[in-house]
Each structure stands twice: as C-alpha cells, then as structure tokens.
Amino acid sequence: MARYLAWRLAALLPVLALVLVIVFTLSRLIPGDPATTLLGPGATSAQIAALRAQLHLDEAPLLQFTAYLGGLAQGDLGRSLKSGAPVLEEILLRLPATLELSLLALLLALLAGIPIGVWSAVRANSGFDHAVRVVSLAGVSMPAFLFALLLQLVFGVWLGWLPVSGRASPFFLTEPVTGFAILDALLEGDGEAALDAFLHLLLPTTVLAAFLAATLGRFVRNAMLEVLGDDFVRTARAKGLREGAVVFRHALRNALLPALTIVGLKFAEMLGGAVLTETVFAWPGIGRYMFDAIRNRDYPVIQGTTLVFALIFLLTALLVDLLSAWLDPRLRRGMR
Amino acid sequence: MRGLLSFLRRNPLAAIGAALLLLILLAVGLAPLWSLLWPLPSPIAIDIQAKLAPPGAAHWLGTDYFGRDVLARLLHGGQATLAIGLGVVALAFCAGVPFGLLAGYAGGWADLVMMRVVDAMLSFPALVLAIALAAAFGPSLGNAMLAVSITLAPQFARVARAQAQSIAARPYVEAAIALGVRPPRLLLRYILRNGIGPLLVQASLALGSAILQTASLGFLGLGAQPPWPEWGADVSANLAYLRGAPWVVLAPGLAILLAVLSFNLIGDALAEWFNPRRRNAR
C-alpha cells in the first residue's frame, strides 16, 4: 500500500506541474499588456510601470513563472484587483460554503443514485427502468442554471415554501466558527437557525445532486447488469442463495467499485457546476466568487479560483484511487 | 447500415432522440422561411408598447422586456446555438484526434508527454477551464467557442489514442507497414477510418456538452453578446423578469434542454450500438 501511495503521488507531480503552467499561462493570455488591461484606461504610465514590476512582467517568462511559483509556495495567490484583499484569504473564507453545499449534494446523490441504479438493473427493461433512463438523460441534459431557476420559480415564488437565495435569513445569522452554517447553528444550540440554514441548502443541493445522481444511477445500472451476467453470480444463485443476498452481497459489491471512480470524477465535475448554481442562488461560495470576478475582470481572482478548483479535482482523483486500492485487493497488490 | 436502422427501430429512445433533433433542425433551420408563411417579426425588432406581453395570438411565446418576439428569438437563436455546438465539436475533433492518433501510434516518450498534457487539461472541471479561458480571451462568442473546444479536445485525444493503440496491433496495419505505407497515410486511411466509430459516439455526446457549456458561458456573460439572439445569453439577459414573465426565461432554457437531450439520446444509443458487450446485455 505504501509503495502504491508513493507511486501514485509521484505520478501526480508532472500533472500538477502542467496544471500550474496552464493556470500561469491563463494570465498571460489577456490580450495586450496585462498591466494596461488590468488598470484600465485611466491609468498613468507610472502606475502601469509599477504594476508591471509587481507582476514581474518586465522579466523573462521563465523568471515570471518561477516568481509565480515562489509566491504560491508562500500561499500568495495575488491580490484581488477589486477589493485589494489577498485572493487566498478570500477563497478560504468562502470554501466552507462550497464544501457544505457539495458534500451534502454528494450524500444526496449517493442515497438516490445507487438504489435507483440497482432497482433498474434488477428490473431491466421494465417500465421503471425506461422511465429512469429518460429522467436521468434529461437530468444530464438539463442546464444547471435552468434547473435552478425552475426550482426557484416553483418552490420559492409560486408555492413560497423555500427561500430562493442566500445562505441564511437576516435574523438567523450565526457567528461562523466552522464555516458550515448548520454546524455553527447547532454549536450555538440554536435549532431554529439550523433549520433555517437547512432550508436554504435544500434547493441548491438538489440542483447539484440531480446531475450526479443521474450519472451515478445510469452507471450503477450498467455495471450491475454486467456483473449480474457473470459466472460467480450464477454460482451464487445455483447454491440457493436468496435473490436479495445475490444482488446486494455479491453483485452490488462488485459493481460499486467502478462506480466509485465515476463518483469521484463527477463530483469534481459537479464543483464546476457550482459556479452556475451558486450564482443563481446567491450562495456565498467560491463559485459565486469566481462569477463576480468574471464580471469585474478581476483576473487574479479568476486565476486563483481556477487553481483551487483544479487542486480539488486532483485531490478527489487521488482519494478515489487510494480508496479503490484499499477496497480492491487486486489493485493493492499486483499492479505496479 | 441496415443493422443500424433496425437497431433504431428496436431502440425507441434513440428514435425519439432522432425525431426530436429533426424537429429542432426543421424549426430552426427554416426560420427564415417561416416568416413567409406567417408574419414572424425580426428577432431584434423592438416594440416597447408590447413589452413582456404574455404568450398569445400576436406573440405565440410572448415578448421580452424590449417587446421582442420570443418565438422569433428562439428560432434565430437556435441557429446560433446549434451552429456553435457543431463548430465547437468540429474544432475539438480536429485538435484532439490527430494528437491522440499520433500519441497512440508512436507510443513511448511522445505518448507519455502528450498524455500528461491531456491529464493536466482534464484536471480542471471542464466548465471552470472554459470560464477561465473565455475570461482571458475576452468576452465574445468566438472566444467562448474556442474555450469550450479546448476543454473538449482532450476527450477526443483519449478516445483516438485508445483506438490507435488497438488498431495499430492488427495484422492489416502490420501488412500496410510492410508494404511501405507512409505514416500520415497509415494514420488517416487505416487507423482513423477503422477506428471512427467510437470517435463519432464521442462527437455526438460532445455536441450536447458543447451546447450546454457554451450556453453556460453565455449565461455567465462570456458568450454571445446582445442584442443577437442565442439561447444561453437570452436566459441570462432575462433573469430579472423570471417572476413576472417566466416565458422569457423558460422558452430559451427549455430549448437548450431539448436540443441537448436529443444529442444525448442519440449518443447514448450509438454508444450501445458500438459496444457489443452492452448490446448483448440487453
């Protein structure tokens, strides 16, 4: 296991290096001179020269890149052009909101996607199976922003059951300790505030979870169908095991392992969708922060959030790989 | 080909997808002709007196804040959206496939380096990379398309590489090499031609995500710029009127959903068609 871990980490390094190169290059793609673009038309030549020096624009590209890496090593993602605050601080401030949303969405997607996938495989080609297939394809095809708007319209505006935006009602603002709204409210022993935070979470979580649940349900179905056709399943049936035991103990266990990879990949992909979802629901996470940065042409923030999203992606992939290796003895031993 | 047709017949979802696509193509492609049959206003004709009119006889799908006909914008915007999807996928295909074929055929160091680049690009959530690229290039439709195609290209490279690897080992390729067929011709005539199936599946699935992502960029203000109609941009431009006049948002939004759904239905069925293991499993 230790060797596998070491090998996996070593394989990550070149990819990480290339990710850094890509993110660095992004800031140099801005047409014309970045300093002039960043400062806008009203800037004096002295200001431009100062910013050029600050951004190391007057140096060779390789030196610029090493300066960028040096900054990163010290946790320096640059400063926001809008607020002047360090980008890293601003991102860390908003990260809990995004994590709270996406982890809950992950949980919801697992709870919905796996049973649906299993049931469609067991009842393959039934009415239920076909209905699930259509609904899940629609779920994958649905633009996240449209689904978010529809939910807002139906549950927020027409029915008036749920709040349409934000993270908490004005009179329920709790002191952030962990940064997770529900936890913070519970820590204060404020049940009403916790409920309020939960209600605010419902709609955005549903939007994020829908995409993941749709993908996962379809994947589990197909994986189950393949496993259910395998010889060991026939053996299990032949020795007289009850169908429930065959499906859950034998087939599902083997179908879940490939599903884990998909969950990891799609979870990270879903975070990209957080930009849209957080924007529609005015959710104060890093997705919304990125959207605001786009509007303000706040390039250091765009660059910083892009890097953080990529790092979360890489970290998730690593976690999934390690988890699969831990769960699957074949991967743990033999390979490499 | 006949096998494919009978497969479509046995696969109602694929048939629905194809019918849906045909319908959309007819409606959108013939938009200029429709205006000969009944007076369809220009998609950018402003009529302030009729602003935010609900769907009715004069405006079948109502009007937006500037009194522009939503149906007209839907039909004309669809031309933009579908053309964008095709353009983006074509770009991604042309960038990713040669890259992947070369990596898979050459193997060794070239393969290793190329695939690490692909891994790095796939390490970004696609939408985030597209946003970052589009923001760096500057907000315009062309730049948004370029950004989305860059995020889609690695997937084509992956599929093309896998195809090249498996096909390069076949006897007829060895025979061609022995006969002295040059690599460019070999890649194009022998490997690409025999490995095109999964690439077409990929293209059909990518069409859906291309439209979805370009629309998302449009929604974030990084795609098509006003006043020209495009579905994603139209959703975003009308957000403020969602409560009072939901049609201005829902019409282009649902149009995106239907278009992407039709491509996914077709791509899903094609994937099954090209994957014998799944074909038999049914």
- Token representation of residue B3: 């096998």
Supply the pLDDT for residue B280. 45
Q: What angle do CA A113, A119, A122 make, to 5 degrees?
A: 140
Residues of B in contact with A26 (CB under 8 A): 132-133, 136
How many C-alpha atoms does B243 have within 13 Å on its Cβ side?
8
Distance CA B234, CA B254 (A): 12
For residue B235, the chain A residue with the least C-alpha distance is A146
Question: What tens digit of pLDDT does each residue of A209-244 get?
Answer: 888 888 888 888 888 888 877 778 788 888 877 877
Protein fold of B2-279: MetI-like fold (1.10.3720)
Q: What does the H/E/C string look like for chain A? A: CHHHHHHHHHHHHHHHHHHHHHHHHHHHCCCCCHHHHHHCCCCCHHHHHHHHHHCCCCCCHHHHHHHHHHHHHCCCCCECCCCCCEHHHHHHHHHHHHHHHHHHHHHHHHHHHHHHHHHHHHCCCCHHHHHHHHHHHHHHHCCHHHHHHHHHHHHHHHCCCCCCCCCCCHHHCCCCCCCCHHHHHHHCCCHHHHHHHHHHHHHHHHHHHHHHHHHHHHHHHHHHHHHHCCHHHHHHHHCCCCHHHHHHHHHHHHHHHHHHHHHHHHHHHHHHHHHHHHHHCCCCCHHHHHHHHHHHCCHHHHHHHHHHHHHHHHHHHHHHHHHHHHHCHHHHCCCC
Give the mean model confidence (pLDDT) for residues B233-239. 80
Q: Does A271 touch chain B (CB under 8 A)?
A: yes
- Sign, CA torsion A39/A44/A47/A51: positive
Tally of CB atoms within 10 A around A182: 20
pTM: 0.80
Which domains does chain A possess? 2-73 (no CATH), 87-163+199-334 (1.10.3720.10)
Distance from the Cα of B173 to chain A's closest Cα (Å) equals 30
Residues of B in contact with A22 (CB under 8 A): 120-121, 124
Question: What tens digit of pLDDT does each residue of B124-174 get?
Answer: 888 888 888 888 887 788 888 898 999 999 989 988 888 888 887 888 888
Distances (CA, A) of A210 to A35, A202, A205, A216: 42, 12, 8, 10
- Token representation of residue A295: 């509007």
Lowest average pLDDT, out of A199-213, B146-160, B239-253, goes to B239-253
- Token representation of residue B77: 């915007």
A152 pLDDT more than 80: yes
Lowest average pLDDT, out of A71-85, A136-150, B35-49, goes to B35-49
Q: Does B249 touch chain A (CB under 8 A)?
A: yes
Residue that the structure tokens 């008036």 belong to = A160
Report A:116-175 residues touching B (Cβ under 8 A).
Answer: 124-125, 130, 133-134, 137-138, 140-146, 149-150, 152-153, 157
Which of A126, A294, A308 to probe by mutation at the B interface, max B CB count within 10 Å?
A294
Report A:251-270 residues touching B (Cβ under 8 A).
Answer: 268-270
Confirm if B16 and B261 have CB atoms less than 8 A apart.
no
Closest CA to B146 of B157, B161, B155, B135: B135
Supply the pLDDT for residue A302. 85
Q: Measure CA B122 to chain center.
A: 18
Phi-psi region of A56 (alpha: psi -120 to 50; beta: other; left: phi over 0): left
Q: What angle do CA B270, B274, B276 make, to 5 degrees?
A: 125
Residues of B in contact with A133 (CB under 8 A): 13
Q: What angle do CA B134, B88, A300 make, to 5 degrees?
A: 15
Distance from the Cα of B30 to chain A's closest Cα (Å) equals 25
The radius of gyration computed from the CA coordinates of chain A, to the nearest angstrom, equals 24
Supply the pLDDT for residue A336. 43
Name which residue leads in pLDDT, B53 or A17: A17
- Token representation of residue A87: 């980008």
Supply the pLDDT for residue A169. 65
Supply the pLDDT for residue B94. 92
Closest CA to B227 of B29, B42, B25: B42
Start-to-end CA distance of chain B, whole Å, equals 20
Q: What angle do CA A286, A290, A294 make, to 5 degrees?
A: 170
Which of B208, B212, B249 is nearest residue A149 as measured by Cβ atoms?
B249
Distance CA A305, CA A313 (A): 12
Residues of B in contact with A14 (CB under 8 A): 116
Which of B127, B133, B204 to probe by mutation at the A interface, max A CB count within 10 Å?
B127
Q: Does B129 touch chain A (CB under 8 A)?
A: yes
Task: Give the ipTM of the model, two decimals please.
Answer: 0.79
Question: What's at B164, amino acid-wise?
Answer: A
Distance CA B21, CA A245 (A): 43
Which of B221, B242, B257 is nearest residue A142 as measured by Cβ atoms?
B257
Confirm if B245 and B116 have CB atoms less than 8 A apart.
no
Report A:25-44 residues touching B (Cβ under 8 A).
Answer: 26-27, 29-31
Residues of A in contact with B131 (CB under 8 A): 275, 290, 294, 302, 306
Domain range annotation of chain B: 2-279
Question: What tens digit of pLDDT does each residue of B185-221 get?
Answer: 878 777 888 778 888 888 888 888 888 888 888 888 8
Give the mean model confidence (pLDDT) for residues A133-151. 85
Tally of CB atoms within 10 A around A308: 24
* Contact at CB, A137 and B268, closer than 8 angstroms: yes
Supply the pLDDT for residue A175. 60
Question: What tens digit of pLDDT does each residue of A288-315 get?
Answer: 888 888 877 777 888 888 888 888 888 8
Distance CA A69, CA A329 (A): 38
